[in-house]
Amino acid sequence: MIRVLSKNVSDKIAAGEVIERPVSIVKELAENSIDAGATSVTVEIRNGGKTYIRVTDNGCGIDPDECSTAFLRHATSKIEKASDLDRIESLGFRGEALASIAAVTRTTMISKTADSPVGRRVVVHGGTVIENVPVGAPEGTTIIVTDLFYNTPARREFLKNDGAESSRIIALLSELAVAYPNVKMTLINNGETVFTSPGDGNIKNAIVSVYRQKEYKELTELAYREGDISIRGCISRPSLTRTSRRDQICFVNGRVVDSPVMLRGIKDGYKQRMFEGRYPVAFIMLETEPGTLDVNIHPAKREVRFHDDKAVTDFISRAIRLTLAEKESVSHIGDTITSVSAEETTEAIAPTPSFKRIQDSGSVSYFNKKPGNQVDIKQLLKTKREEETKLEEIKQIVKEEKAIYQASKDDFDMKPGQLMSFDFSELRILGSLFNTYIMACDGDSFYLIDQHAAHERVFYEKLVGEYLASDKAIQSILMPIIVETDPALSSTEDDWIPILRDMGFDIEPFGPGTYRINGIPTYMEIGEAEDFVRYFLDNIETEGDIKNITVIDKLITRSCKSAVKANDALAPEEQLALMKELAACGNPFSCPHGRPTFIRLTRYEIERSFKRIQ
Ligand SMILES: Nc1ncnc2c1ncn2[C@@H]1O[C@H](COP(=O)(O)OP(=O)(O)OP(=O)(O)O)[C@@H](O)[C@H]1O
Ligand SMILES: [Mg+2]
pLDDT digits (tens, 9 = 90+) for 554-572: 777 766 666 555 567 788 8
What is the distance in A from the centroid of ligand 1 to the CA of 154?
28
pLDDT, average across residues 264-284: 84
Query: What residues form DSSP beta bridges with 189?
Result: 45, 192
Query: To the nearest whole percent, how much of the chain has pLDDT over 90?
Result: 32
Q: Quick one: which atom of ligand 1 is closest to the CA of 301?
A: 26
Q: Whose CA is nearest to atom 27 of ligand 1?
A: 92
What is the distance in A from the centroid of ligand 1 to the CA of 258?
23
Q: Quick one: which atom of ligand 1 is closest to the CA of 71?
A: 18
| Element at 371 (helix H, strand E) | none
Q: What is the pLDDT of residue 413?
A: 53
- Tell me the ligand closest to 96's alpha carbon: 1
Q: Residue 130 gets which letter from DSSP?
A: E
Vertex 222 angle, CA 220 and 223, to 5°: 155
Q: What is the pLDDT of residue 203?
A: 92
- Which 3-state string (H, E, C) describes 538-605? HHHHHHCCCCCHHHHHHHHHHHHHHHCCCCCCCCHHHHHHHHHHHHCCCCCCECCCCCECEEEEEHHH
What is the distance in A from the centroid of ligand 1 to the CA of 48?
23
Closest among 58, 149, 44 to 110, alpha carbons compared = 58
| Element at 138 (helix H, strand E) | none
Q: Quick one: which atom of ligand 1 is closest to the CA of 28?
A: 27
Q: What is the pLDDT of residue 177?
A: 95
Q: What is the pLDDT of residue 331?
A: 54
* Residue count (the chain): 614
Q: What is the pLDDT of residue 479?
A: 86
- The residue whose CB lies within 8 Å of the most ligand 1 atoms, and thus the one to mutate among 3, 32, 56, is 32
Q: What is the pLDDT of residue 142?
A: 97
Q: Does 57 contact ligand 1 (Cβ within 6 A)?
A: yes
Q: CA 602: distance to chain centroid? A: 26
Q: What is the pLDDT of residue 443?
A: 79
Q: Phi and psi for 248 in degrees, rounded to 5?
A: -110, 110
Cα dist. 143→30, 33, 69 in Å? 10, 10, 15
Q: What is the pLDDT of residue 115?
A: 95
Cα–Cα distance for residue pair 149/8, rounded to 1 Å: 31
Q: Does 107 contact ligand 1 (Cβ within 6 A)?
A: no
What residues have CB less than 8 Å from 527, skipping those under 6 apart?
none
Cα dist. 229→92, 96, 312 in Å? 22, 30, 9
Q: What is the pLDDT of residue 250?
A: 94
Cα–Cα distance for residue pair 178/172, rounded to 1 Å: 10
Cα–Cα distance for residue pair 257/260, rounded to 1 Å: 9
What is the distance in A from the centroid of ligand 1 to the CA of 99?
10
- How far apart are the two ends of the chain, measured CA to CA in Å? 58
pLDDT band at 264 (very low <50, low <70, confident <90, very high): very high
pLDDT band at 529 (very low <50, low <70, confident <90, very high): confident
Residue type, 443: G
What is the distance in A from the centroid of ligand 1 to the CA of 94?
9
Instruction: Tell me the average pLDDT of the chain.
Output: 79
Cα–Cα distance for residue pair 212/195, rounded to 1 Å: 9
- Tell me the ligand closest to 100's alpha carbon: 1
Cα dist. 608→302, 333, 352 in Å? 46, 13, 10
pLDDT, average across residues 76-101: 90
Q: Does 33 contact ligand 1 (Cβ within 6 A)?
A: yes
Poorest-pLDDT segment among 307-311, 313-317, 398-402: 398-402
Q: CA 85: distance to chain centroid? A: 30
Ordered domains of the chain (ranges, CATH): 3-196 (3.30.565.10), 213-330 (3.30.230.10), 336-451+571-609 (3.30.1540.20), 470-563 (3.30.1370.100)
Q: Whose CA is nearest to atom 12 of ligand 1?
A: 70
- Per residue in 322-378, pLDDT tens? 888 776 555 555 443 333 333 333 333 333 322 322 222 222 222 222 333 344 555
Q: What is the pLDDT of residue 581?
A: 86
**Antiparallel, parallel or unpaired: β 119-125 and 106-112:** antiparallel
Q: Indicate if the pLDDT at residue 315 is higher than 50.
A: yes
What is the distance in A from the centroid of ligand 1 to the CA of 304?
21
Query: Are 568 and 301 in contact, with CB atoms under 8 Å apart?
Result: no
Q: What is the pLDDT of residue 198?
A: 95
Query: What residues form DSSP beta bridges with 481?
Result: 517
What is the distance in A from the centroid of ligand 1 to the CA of 21?
19
Q: Phi and psi for 564 in degrees, rounded to 5?
A: -105, 130
What is the distance in A from the centroid of ligand 2 to the CA of 260?
25
User: What are the residues whose beta carbon lies below 5 Å from ligand 2 (ion)?
Assistant: 32, 92, 97
Q: Does 557 contact ligand 1 (Cβ within 6 A)?
A: no
- Tell me the ligand closest to 70's alpha carbon: 1
Q: DSSP strand E in 298-375: where?
A: 305-306, 331-332
Q: Indicate if the pLDDT at residue 253 is higher than 50.
A: yes
pLDDT band at 548 (very low <50, low <70, confident <90, very high): low
Poorest-pLDDT segment among 365-379, 476-490, 530-544: 365-379
Side-chain-facing half-sphere of 276: CA atoms under 13 Å: 5
Q: Quick one: which atom of ligand 1 is closest to the CA of 99?
A: 18
Q: What is the pLDDT of residue 350?
A: 30
Query: Are 586 and 414 in contact, with CB atoms under 8 Å apart?
Result: yes
- Per residue in 25-55, pLDDT tens? 999 999 999 999 999 999 999 999 999 999 9
Cα–Cα distance for residue pair 164/102, rounded to 1 Å: 23
Q: Does 96 contact ligand 1 (Cβ within 6 A)?
A: yes
Cα–Cα distance for residue pair 468/462, rounded to 1 Å: 10
Q: Indicate if the pLDDT at residue 405 is higher than 70.
A: no
Query: Are 3 and 80 in contact, with CB atoms under 8 Å apart?
Result: yes
pLDDT, average across residues 461-485: 80
Poorest-pLDDT segment among 87-96, 109-118, 400-409: 400-409
- Cβ neighbour number for residue 524 with a 10 Å cutoff: 22
- Tell me the ligand closest to 34's alpha carbon: 1
What is the distance in A from the centroid of ligand 1 to the CA of 95?
6
Task: Output the DSSP codes for 431-484.
Answer: EEETTTEEEEEETTEEEEEEHHHHHHHHHHHHHHHHHH-SS--EEEEEEEEEEE
Q: What is the pLDDT of residue 100?
A: 93
What is the distance in A from the centroid of ligand 1 to the CA of 56?
14
Q: Does 28 contact ligand 1 (Cβ within 6 A)?
A: yes
Poorest-pLDDT segment among 175-179, 208-212, 548-552: 548-552
Q: Does 62 contact ligand 1 (Cβ within 6 A)?
A: yes
Cα–Cα distance for residue pair 542/534, rounded to 1 Å: 14
Q: Does 110 contact ligand 1 (Cβ within 6 A)?
A: no
Q: At 200, is the secondary structure helix, strand, or coil?
A: coil
